[in-house]
A = this chain, B = another copy of it.
Amino acid sequence: VPAVDTFTLPYGSCHDGRRRYVGVRLGEQVLDLASALPTFEPLLRNGTLDGLLAAGRAAWTQVRRALLDFAADPDQRHLRPLRDVQLRMPFSVADYVDFYASEHHVRNVARVLRPQVDPLPANWKHLPAGYHGRSGTVLVSGTPVTRPSGLRRVGDDVEFGPTQRLDFEAEVGFVVGTPAPSGRVPVSAFADHVFGLCLVNDWSARDIQAYESVPLGPFLGKSFATSISPWVVPLDALAEARCAPPPRDVPVAGYLEDAGAGPDGFDLELEVRLNGVPISRPPFRSMYWTPAQMLAHLGVNGAAIRTGDLYASGTVSGPDPGQFGCLLELPQDGPEQVRLPDGSRRRFLLDGDEVVISASAPGPDGSRLDLGAVAGRIQPAPSGS
């Protein structure tokens, strides 16, 4: 029996068949937050994190302090077995933005697709590149993902049909609590606005994406589904996981400057499993841009930032084989293709495949925190599409 994790204390939206409520995970049990700590009931009214997110940093600290007290001596009356709990979307997603912040991901993909050209776009080290995704198709972990259909190039023709290049992208998402109507969130104010993080699988149809994305960027190749982990890990649990970002080789504008802002990176270790088999361990600490820089960039044009905004890091990848964050980074052929124990290979995902992205991080006293997982299984395209 593993020791109960009484420190991470992630938040989720739970359902017991009759009622939706905000739950907090304690190992293999779930705490009914409003029942255990009725003082906070006004923040928890619709059974999602929406009210808590809007309440701001001071309330988050208060709730967590009370939870740490509870966890030190838990009253079993407020706990339920995790296996009896249905997990729902933890919060209402306002706007969803996806960044592109891993230099290794950009280089790994370029090596496969465009080996002859400079892998980094000219602007890449001047700003954290990003784009808006579809908030209406952000799905909670476990929701089946249907293979999308779309237009793709086949030889010299354009054909409509189910994607032949369905991929995952292992990412980390950041959940905004405190809004910023002016849009302006200095790098140093990151923790005042961001409540916590979740794991993200930004499913991608590479053939649809490749055909559509000049000049307006990714659209239908991404918008069919983005899965997130059901448990949102509060930033407060991740003090030991903060680390320095990699050295930057290009000076940045003042609003992105983070020298002296403290260790703004996160030392998270992701793991990707395909049909139960570990196939990759992407290291989040190698991300070129930090989540604080992404948020500072997002609103520097004055775009209002709202409670429930979700922004994801982009694919997390490392420089080495075994650290890729998506299948697109693998060579077209050759030994680096994913091989499963049953002898089958994967260039891209097949119907029935299940992808689970999990993560861990350093905790207090040398412990290791479990940051949960996001899972999804591919269903075949509907017939006739």
Contacts and interface: CB of A to CB of B under 8 A. Distances in A.
A129 B300 CA distance: 27
A131 B255 CA distance: 27
A214 B137 CA distance: 25
A288 to B, nearest CB: 15
A150 B302 CA distance: 10
A94 B92 CA distance: 11
A224 interface: yes
B148 A127 contact: no
A217 B301 contact: no
Given A149-B300, A205-B301, A306-B136, A160 B216 contact: no
Given A132-B223, A301-B223, A303-B136, A151 B216 contact: no
A275 interface: no
Nearest to A99: B216
Interface string A255-296: 100000000000000000000000000000000000000000
Interface in A188-223: 205, 208, 211-221, 223
Contact of A220 (B135, B297, B382, B385): B297
Interface in A115-140: 121-123, 126-127, 129-137
Contacts of A253: 151, 158, 160
B215 A134 contact: no
A129 B297 CA distance: 26
Contact of A131 (B123, B137, B219, B309): B219
A91 interface: no
Contact of A217 (B123, B131, B137, B223): B131
Interface in A223-267: 223-225, 253-255
Given A214-B123, A300-B150, A309 B220 contact: no
Tell me which of A100, A150, A306, A309 has the highest count of chain B C-beta atoms within 10 A of its own C-beta. Answer: A150
Q: How many copies of this chain does one complex carry?
A: 2
A249 to B, nearest CB: 15
Tell me which of A146, A148, A302 has the highest count of chain B C-beta atoms within 10 A of its own C-beta. Answer: A302
B304 A137 contact: yes
Contacts of A148: 301-302
Contacts of A219: 129-132
Contacts of A301: 148-150, 205, 208, 220-221, 223-224
A385 B302 CA distance: 10
A306 to B, nearest CB: 5
B134 A95 contact: yes
A148 to B, nearest CB: 4
Contact of A135 (B95, B297, B302): B95
B304 A136 contact: yes
A300 to B, nearest CB: 6
Interface in A43-95: 94-95
A385 B303 CA distance: 14
Given A149-B301, A254-B160, A302-B146, A121 B214 contact: yes
Given A129-B216, A146-B302, 4 more contacts: A94-B136, A121-B215, A123-B211, A220-B300
23 contacts: A100-B216, A129-B215, A131-B131, A131-B216, A131-B218, A131-B219, A132-B133, A136-B304, A136-B309, A146-B302, A148-B302, A149-B300, A160-B253, A160-B255, A183-B224, A208-B301, A216-B217, A216-B218, A220-B297, A220-B300, A220-B303, A225-B302, A300-B385
